[in-house]
Amino acid sequence: MPLMAIHPNLYDQDFYAWALGNAALLRDGRLSEIDIKHVAEELESMGRSERRELVSRLAILFAHLLKWANQSERRSSSWRNTIKVQRLDTSGVLADNPSLQGQADDIVTAAYEKSKLLAANETGFDEHSFPEHCPWTLEQALDPDYWPDQAVIPAM
């Protein structure tokens, strides 16, 4: 079945059809017919989405590590399993996107800022009571054998 040319407004009117049409054009080698501007935007968006996924996974992981370190009396198998799952998922995102490793410092900083808010919401601690900077390296956070034993905030 011959592929029809991509209508100029299809990107805004029917993204699914636009995406499939451009994929077919790529496969057929009809490069001059591809909506290059929007394809480039979507590829950039996909990259940003992977970065956001990594920040989100790390934020949840750091929040649970904060809770684990500061509320030892409330530790549960649920917290342990959440930490394990987030470690696996975070490692998976990094394995699929190794170039994000070069942005690790910025990603950890962004994730930790979110994690303080999440942990504050779940613990009742003030977000400013947590350390200003992440108390763990990325390697520690992802290490399946690492479990923080000492509180990272002063006792109340």
The average pLDDT across 89-95 equals: 97
Give the pLDDT confidence score for residue 64 in this predicted structure.
Answer: 98
The enclosing H or E element of 78 equals: helix 77-96
Give the pLDDT confidence score for residue 37 in this predicted structure.
Answer: 93
Greatest CA separation for the chain:
71
Q: Are 123 and 71 in contact (CB under 8 A)?
A: yes
Q: Which two tokens stand for residue 55?
A: 């920040």
**Among 74, 68, 154, 75, residue whose Cα is nearest residue 115:** 68
Domain ranges of the chain: 49-142
Q: Which two tokens stand for residue 18?
A: 């636009």
Q: Please say if the pLDDT value at position 19 is more than 50.
A: yes
Give the pLDDT confidence score for residue 153 in this predicted structure.
Answer: 83
Q: Are 109 and 56 in contact (CB under 8 A)?
A: no
The fraction of the chain above a pLDDT of 90, given in percent, is 87
Give the pLDDT confidence score for residue 1 in this predicted structure.
Answer: 44
For 15-22, which contacts have Cβ atoms below 8 Å and span 24 or more sequence positions? none
The fraction of the chain above a pLDDT of 70, given in percent, is 95
Give the pLDDT confidence score for residue 4 in this predicted structure.
Answer: 61
Rounded CA-CA distance 38/18 in Å is 10
Q: Please say if the pLDDT value at position 35 is more than 50.
A: yes
The average pLDDT across 75-99 equals: 97
- pLDDT tens digits, one per residue of 102-146: 999 999 999 999 999 999 999 999 999 999 999 999 999 999 999
Rounded CA-CA distance 113/131 in Å is 10
Q: What is the DSSP string of 109-138?
A: HHHHHHHHHHHHHHH---GGGS-SS-SS-H
Residue carrying structure tokens 């499939």: 20
